[in-house]
C-alpha cells in the first residue's frame, strides 16, 4: 500500500510541474482570437503563432543579447572564481575569516538592494545601456558562489597532490596550472553552466540597467512582451515557450551538472 | 575539521618558513591574497560599493534628477509609517510560508516515502521535478499568469469538476491574488527541497532505523524520531536558500500582478522599482533596499545559528 501511495504522490508532484506547461503549450497553438484557451488540445494547431511571436517580440535580437551577456560573463567569472578559490584554499592569513564573511553576505544580498545605485553609478560613467552594464555587475555578484565552489573543490583534493609539487619547489602558479587545474574540469563545467544559465535568465538587472529593449536578455524582453500583448494569450504563450526552450534544452543535455551544482552548491 | 587541518598546515609551514629568509616568507604568505584580489575587486566594485552607495542615498531626499537634501532617518521613518511599504515587507515575510515552509513539509514527506521504496521511474521524476529551478522566473510567472487568467486553464479545470462557483479572476482579486502569487513559489521550491532532503536521507545511518525498528517503532514514529532529526542540516540549507528567494522575489510578482490589485501583492522589490522609476523617491527606495538586505542577512544568520548549535 505504501508503495502505491509513494508512486501516486510522486506522480502527483510530477504532474503538478507538467500541467502548467501542458496548459500553455495547448494555449500557444490556439487561434489568436481565442480568448479562453482552457485545457483542451486545439483541433487545428496554429504553429504559425510561434513565427508571429518570434517576430513581434523581437526574440532574435533578445536571444542574441542574452547570449552576448552570458558569454561575456562566463569566461571571466570562471577565471576569477578559480584564482580566488585557489587563493582562499591556501590562505593562512588572519584576513581569511573577514573575506569569508564578506563573501557570505553576498550570497544573501538581493539584487534589489544594489540595482538602484548601480543605475546611477553606471549612468555617470557612461556604461548604462551597454551590455557591460549587466555583464560587470553579474561577474561581481557571481563571485561568492563561484569562489566558495572552487575553494571547496580544491580543498577536497588530497594534500599530497600539492605537497609533492611544493617539495620540488614549484611556484604557486605552476601548482595551479599543472597540478590543480587538470582536476578541476568537472567543477568548472558545472560552475560554467550555472553561470551561463543565471546570466541568460537575468531579469531585474537587464530591465533596469539596459533601456534599449533589443539589448535586454530574453526574460526581460518577455516581461515587456507580456505587458504589451496582455490579452493575446496564444501569442504570449508562444513567446513564453520560445524563452523557455533554450534553457530546457541546455538542462536536458547537462542535467547532472545542473542538479549537482545547485544541490551541492546550496549545501556548501 | 577543515580548520584543524588548516592549523596543522600552518604550524608545519611556520617551521619550514623559519629557515627561509623573512622577506621571502612574507611574500609567499601574501601570494594567496593576490590570487583572491581580482575576484574581491569585482565583488567590491559591483556589489559592496553599490550597497554602500544605497545606504548613503537612503539618508537623502532625492528624486533622482534634482538636488538632494539631507533627510537623516526620515526615509526609514517613512517605511514604518507608510502602510503600503510596511505591507510590502509583511508580504515578503508571508511568502516564506509559500517558498519555504510548505515546500519543506511536502519535500520531507515525499522524501521519507520515496526513501523506503526504490523506483525505476525516479530519474524521470527527478528531471521533471527539478525543472522549475533552471527556468527564468519571468517565464514561470508568465506561465502562471496565463494559468490563472479569468478564462485560463485553472478556471476551466474548476468548471470541469463542477466548481464553477469558485471561478474568479484570481490575479485581480484582492483576497486571492496574494496566495495565487505565493503558490508559484511553492511550485518553484518544492522540487529543490525534495531533492535536497532526499539526498540527505541517504546519509542517515541505517543503524538508527534498525534500532528504532527493534524498539517496535512504527513508520510515523520513525519519521519523527529518526528521519526529521537526521535531516536537520539539509532542512536548514533548504530553508536558507528558499527564504532568500522569498524575500528577494521580484520577477514573478512583477510579471503576474506588478504588485496589484491595489497593493495586495506588493513586495519590496516591486516597491523599490516603483519608488525609483514612477514616484521619484530614490531615497526611500534605497532605504527600503537597505532594510530588505539587513532583514535577509539577519534571517540567514539566525538560520545558520539555529543549526550549528544542535550539531
A147-183 confidence digits (pLDDT tens): 999 999 999 988 888 888 888 888 888 888 888 888 9
**Res A69 pLDDT > 60:** yes
* Per-residue confidence (pLDDT) for residue B31, from 0 to 100: 85
CB-based contact (8 Å) between A68 and chain B? no
Among all residues of chain A, which has the CA nearest to that of B289?
A113
Among all residues of chain B, which has the CA nearest to that of A155?
B2
Share of chain A above pLDDT 90, in %: 50
**Contact status, residue A95 vs residue A103, Cβ threshold 8 Å:** no
* Per-residue confidence (pLDDT) for residue B240, from 0 to 100: 92
Using the beta-carbon criterion (under 8 Å), do B300 and A116 form an inter-chain contact? no
**Contact status, residue B185 vs residue B267, Cβ threshold 8 Å:** no
The pTM for the full model equals 0.90
* Beta-carbon count within 10 A of A43 CB: 8
pLDDT digits (tens, 9 = 90+) for A193-214: 999 999 999 999 999 999 888 8
CB-based contact (8 Å) between A100 and chain B? no
Give me the count of residues in chain A: 268
Using the beta-carbon criterion (under 8 Å), do A136 and B131 form an inter-chain contact? no
C-alpha cell at B174: 484582492
What does the alpha-carbon distance between residue B213 and residue B207 come to, in Å, rounded to a whole number?
Answer: 10
Q: Which residues of chain B have pLDDT under 50?
A: 1-22, 311
* Per-residue confidence (pLDDT) for residue B235, from 0 to 100: 92
What does the alpha-carbon distance between residue B192 and residue B211 come to, in Å, rounded to a whole number?
Answer: 30
Going by pLDDT thresholds of 50, 70 and 90, the confidence category of residue A35 is low
**Contact status, residue A142 vs residue A133, Cβ threshold 8 Å:** no
C-alpha cell at B142: 508568465
* Per-residue confidence (pLDDT) for residue B205, from 0 to 100: 85
* Per-residue confidence (pLDDT) for residue A43, from 0 to 100: 80
Question: For A236, which of B113, B137, B142 is closest by C-beta distance?
Answer: B142
pLDDT digits (tens, 9 = 90+) for B220-259: 888 898 889 889 889 999 999 999 999 999 999 999 999 9
**Res A14 pLDDT > 80:** yes
* Per-residue confidence (pLDDT) for residue A268, from 0 to 100: 61
CA distance A110 to chain B (A): 5
Contacts of A113 (CB under 8 A, 6+ apart): B51, B54, B289, B290, B292, B293
Chain A / chain B CB contacts < 8 angstroms: 315
What does the alpha-carbon distance between residue B78 and residue B287 come to, in Å, rounded to a whole number?
Answer: 9
* Per-residue confidence (pLDDT) for residue B1, from 0 to 100: 39
Mean pLDDT of chain A: 89
* Per-residue confidence (pLDDT) for residue A18, from 0 to 100: 92
* Per-residue confidence (pLDDT) for residue B10, from 0 to 100: 44
* Per-residue confidence (pLDDT) for residue B309, from 0 to 100: 56
Q: Which ranges in chain B belong to alpha helices (H)?
A: 2-19, 22-43, 49-57, 74-81, 83-96, 102-116, 122-130, 137-147, 153-160, 177-201, 206-214, 219-222, 228-230, 232-247, 251-256, 268-277, 282-310
* Per-residue confidence (pLDDT) for residue B16, from 0 to 100: 43
pLDDT digits (tens, 9 = 90+) for A121-138: 999 999 999 999 999 999
* Per-residue confidence (pLDDT) for residue A36, from 0 to 100: 65
* Per-residue confidence (pLDDT) for residue B9, from 0 to 100: 44
* Per-residue confidence (pLDDT) for residue A121, from 0 to 100: 93
Amino acid at each position: 500500500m505504501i508503495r502505491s501511495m509513494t508512486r501516486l504522490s510522486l506522480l502527483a508532484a510530477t504532474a503538478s510541474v507538467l500541467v502548467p506547461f501542458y496548459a500553455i503549450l495547448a494555449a500557444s497553438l490556439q487561434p489568436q482570437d481565442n480568448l479562453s484557451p482552457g485545457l483542451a488540445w486545439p483541433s487545428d494547431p496554429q504553429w504559425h503563432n510561434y513565427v508571429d511571436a518570434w517576430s513581434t517580440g523581437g526574440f532574435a535580437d533578445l536571444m542574441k543579447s542574452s547570449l552576448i551577456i552570458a558569454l561575456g560573463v562566463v569566461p571571466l567569472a570562471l577565471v576569477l572564481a578559480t584564482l580566488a578559490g585557489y587563493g582562499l584554499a591556501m590562505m593562512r592569513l588572519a584576513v581569511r575569516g573577514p573575506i569569508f564573511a564578506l563573501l557570505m553576505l553576498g550570497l544573501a544580498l538581493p539584487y534589489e538592494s544594489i540595482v538602484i545605485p548601480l543605475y546611477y553609478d553606471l549612468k555617470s560613467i557612461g556604461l548604462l545601456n551597454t551590455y557591460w552594464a549587466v555583464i560587470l555587475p553579474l561577474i561581481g555578484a557571481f563571485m561568492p558562489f563561484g569562489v566558495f565552489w572552487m575553494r571547496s573543490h580544491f580543498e577536497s583534493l588530497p594534500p599530497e597532490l600539492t605537497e609533492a609539487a611544493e617539495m620540488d619547489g614549484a611556484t604557486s602558479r605552476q601548482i595551479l596550472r599543472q597540478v590543480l587545474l587538470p582536476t578541476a574540469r568537472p567543477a568548472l563545467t558545472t560552475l560554467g553552466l550555472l553561470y551561463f544559465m543565471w546570466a541568460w535568465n537575468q531579469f531585474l538587472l537587464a530591465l533596469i540597467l539596459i533601456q534599449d529593449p533589443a539589448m535586454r536578455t530574453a526574460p526581460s524582453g518577455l516581461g515587456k512582451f507580456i505587458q504589451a500583448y496582455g490579452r493575446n494569450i496564444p501569442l504570449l504563450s508562444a513567446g513564453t515557450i520560445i524563452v523557455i526552450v533554450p534553457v530546457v534544452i541546455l538542462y536536458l543535455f547537462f542535467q547532472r551538472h545542473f542538479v549537482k551544482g545547485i544541490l551541492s552548491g546550496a549545501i556548501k | 575539521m577543515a580548520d584543524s587541518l588548516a592549523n596543522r598546515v600552518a604550524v608545519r609551514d611556520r617551521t619550514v618558513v623559519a629557515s627561509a629568509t623573512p622577506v621571502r616568507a612574507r611574500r609567499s604568505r601574501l601570494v594567496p591574497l593576490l590570487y583572491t584580489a581580482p575576484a574581491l575587486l569585482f565583488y567590491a566594485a559591483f556589489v559592496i560599493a553599490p550597497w554602500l552607495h544605497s545606504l548613503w542615498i537612503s539618508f537623502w531626499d532625492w528624486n533622482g534628477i534634482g538636488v538632494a537634501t539631507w533627510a537623516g532617518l526620515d526615509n526609514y521613518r517613512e517605511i514604518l509609517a507608510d502602510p503600503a511599504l510596511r505591507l510590502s515587507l509583511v508580504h515578503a515575510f508571508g511568502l516564506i510560508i509559500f517558498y519555504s515552509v510548505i515546500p519543506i513539509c511536502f519535500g520531507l514527506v515525499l522524501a521519507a516515502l520515496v526513501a523506503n521504496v526504490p523506483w525505476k521511474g525516479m530519474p524521470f521524476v527527478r528531471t521533471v521535478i527539478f525543472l522549475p529551478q533552471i527556468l527564468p522566473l519571468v517565464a514561470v510567472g508568465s506561465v502562471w499568469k496565463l494559468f490563472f487568467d479569468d478564462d485560463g486553464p485553472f478556471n476551466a479545470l474548476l468548471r470541469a469538476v463542477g466548481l464553477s462557483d469558485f471561478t474568479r479572476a484570481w490575479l485581480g482579486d484582492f483576497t486571492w491574488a496574494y496566495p495565487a502569487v505565493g503558490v508559484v513559489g511553492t511550485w518553484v521550491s518544492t522540487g529543490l527541497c525534495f531533492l535536497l532532503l532526499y539526498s540527505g536521507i541517504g546519509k542517515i545511518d541505517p543503524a538508527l532505523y534498525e534500532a528504532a525498528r527493534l524498539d517496535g517503532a512504527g513508520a510515523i514514529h520513525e519519521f519523527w524520531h529518526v528521519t526529521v532529526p537526521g535531516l536537520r542540516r539539509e532542512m536548514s540549507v533548504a530553508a536558507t536558500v528558499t527564504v532568500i528567494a522569498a524575500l528577494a522575489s521580484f520577477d514573478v510578482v512583477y510579471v503576474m500582478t506588478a504588485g496589484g490589485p491595489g497593493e495586495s501583492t506588493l513586495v519590496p522589490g516591486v516597491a523599490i522599482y516603483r519608488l525609483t522609476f514612477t514616484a521619484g523617491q530614490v531615497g526611500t527606495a534605497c532605504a527600503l533596499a537597505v532594510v530588505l538586505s539587513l532583514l535577509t542577512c539577519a534571517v540567514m544568520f539566525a538560520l545558520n545559528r539555529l543549526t550549528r548549535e544542535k550539531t
